[in-house]
């Protein structure tokens, strides 16, 4: 009984990780390309089919999430770890809650993953800028 509780509490949420949320958010924020909506439509439909979710739910939810991010991008700087982490955390939590999955651990994991992705992107950008400065400077 205790083992079943531990498995459903700690391991089951990791099987429902919607990693598409932080990755699509990062793609949209850092590239500022509108084709992110087309990619979300395609990958969201594939994800819905494989996870036996209602077809069209994931693309609709992700489109709304990216639309909200684009609205915020007009007023605030969105390419920050605070914004991306908070948006990933809330987006994952609401998505999993709507699908009746346990949202807490998966949301925290996506939050930490988004911070890690941001750190990696920052390091890569600094090295790219440094190489460009050396080449042209």
Q: How far apart are CA 27 and CA 106, in angstroms?
A: 20
- pLDDT grade for 3, boundaries at 50, 70 and 90: low
Asked whether residue 4 is domain-assigned, the answer is: no
Indicate whether 2 pLDDT > 80.
no
Q: What is the pLDDT of residues 53-108, one digit of tens each?
A: 888 898 999 899 988 888 888 888 888 888 888 899 999 999 888 888 778 888 88
The long-range contacts involving 87-92, CB below 8 angstroms and separated by at least 24 positions, are: 87/25, 88/21, 88/22, 88/25, 88/113, 88/114, 89/114, 91/21, 91/25, 91/65, 92/18, 92/21, 92/22
* Per-residue tokens: 127: 């090295």
Asked whether residue 8 is domain-assigned, the answer is: no
Residue, of 1 and 16, whose pLDDT is higher: 16
Indicate whether 7 pLDDT > 60.
no
Mean local confidence (pLDDT), 38-66? 86
pLDDT of residue 90: 92
pLDDT of residue 135: 57
Asked whether residue 2 is domain-assigned, the answer is: no
Asked whether residue 6 is domain-assigned, the answer is: no
Q: Which residue range forms the structural domain that includes residue 93?
A: 18-136
pTM listed for this prediction? 0.77
Asked whether residue 1 is domain-assigned, the answer is: no
Count of structural domains within the chain: 1
Mean local confidence (pLDDT), 19-26? 85
Q: How far apart are CA 56 and CA 41, in angstroms?
A: 8
Asked whether residue 3 is domain-assigned, the answer is: no
Mean local confidence (pLDDT), 29-39? 83
- pLDDT grade for 32, boundaries at 50, 70 and 90: confident
DSSP letter at 53 equals P
Asked whether residue 11 is domain-assigned, the answer is: no
Asked whether residue 88 is domain-assigned, the answer is: yes
């Amino acid at each position: 009984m205790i083992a079943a509780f531990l498995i459903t509490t700690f391991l089951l949420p990791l099987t429902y990780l919607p990693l598409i949320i932080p990755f699509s958010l990062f793609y949209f924020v850092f590239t500022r390309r509108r084709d992110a909506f087309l990619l979300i439509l395609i990958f969201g439909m594939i994800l819905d089919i494989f996870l036996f979710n209602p077809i069209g739910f994931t693309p609709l939810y992700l489109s709304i999430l990216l639309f909200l991010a684009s609205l915020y991008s007009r007023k605030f700087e969105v390419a920050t770890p605070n914004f991306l982490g908070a948006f990933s955390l809330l987006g994952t939590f609401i998505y999993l809650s709507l699908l009746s999955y346990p949202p807490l651990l998966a949301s925290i994991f996506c939050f930490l993953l988004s911070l890690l992705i941001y750190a990696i992107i920052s390091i890569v950008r600094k090295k790219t800028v440094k190489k460009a400065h050396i080449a042209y400077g």
